[in-house]
Structure 1
């Protein structure tokens, strides 16, 4: 094996190891984002957030499941449209293999937050619009009018491909499986960012729509919001309008024990609702 082959192999091992090592870190970030979203709605101090091993494991399973579905959808898309002659249809290549995946992730974020909370996904909307502007709109205003719009896009595609020429690692292989050969870094970063933001949105949506809580048997106006390994966070609420009047934090397990029962009490309103 020559020196160049050894360097490439070593580089690939580092890339794959780095990618695999990032999975638990990203999963922790997703689990923490969910807790932040939930607790933010109820105005629970973020310093009280705890992320357990179970939360991380759940986020790993959810993330991998989402990734498998994501790859499966676009694997099918690639099988349907993968025979596009990019020399003649560079616009279709950008639309099918870059913009559609990004707008699909935007849809996932909107579903996570709920369409009524669309303002929370403005950053993702902005990124999608910027991508559309850069890859499809700006070539219209090209300086060299002697070449056509399609030729300009083809030229820009070739330039971007050259930047990633020779790159080969597990991330590249996964994305190549459904036709994304040179947008790997941008799509991967956008995917991770979208997953974390969607976890935050799903946590917030859960808090907004939750109507069943564990409540105290002895004090029915106390609802338990979060059970952590070292603490329990509960809320005292008004039974008249379900508005939270105060939050309580006690150690877990509690010194005197508690008696709880899950009951449908309706949606709780934070004392100072987030708009």
Structure 2
């Protein structure tokens, strides 16, 4: 059988060079966020309950913000360094990188105050930022997100608020995976030079909007089928670990910091 001329003719196609830096960076960023969310949700249960840990972090942040001298801040830094010594290398790197970046950003913002005669108080702001972000990163690196949302029931947070937070975190993971698949498909199908990159990314954004609407509609229909009345049952409220030895040690450490704050800051003097 003789092939037609158009089928047997050799064609040479040399696609022009193009840059997909934005697609690659967006894809890598999405993959890193998805990995962080999934690793946080699969963390093993700790010996300390989520509710006492969350309460201790809130009290620690309040004390750090109200501190007016560096003596108490040094004491808080010493306690955080002790906790950082028990973290793994990857967790330690994430916590310190986030805290140092936030402190550096705060230092850049308050830098003009050094020339206005307020250098002493301006120095406290980056230090407080570093300590606050560090204690939040320690909480985030050691407790799963479903434990943190479940611990909010201890503080009588409305069930609907907890349900919205928990559902939002779950759907961020689902939509992030969908966006990652779309960006991977776009990258694999991008051959040659594409002068209209905004149209391609607009298509991805439109598909994500439709997927989000579909997921929200499916969620609404599923809640109606299950006769959802607004009562959200937490996955783990941490009552079994509420009075563990680690929890008692955490409460004692928090009371010690309250005593140091009263003595060093001269609250009742």
Structure 2 length normalisation: TM-score? 0.26
Which has the larger Rg? 2
| More strand, by proportion | 1
Structure with greater contact order relative to length (CA < 8 Å, sep ≥ 6): 2
| More helix, by proportion | 2
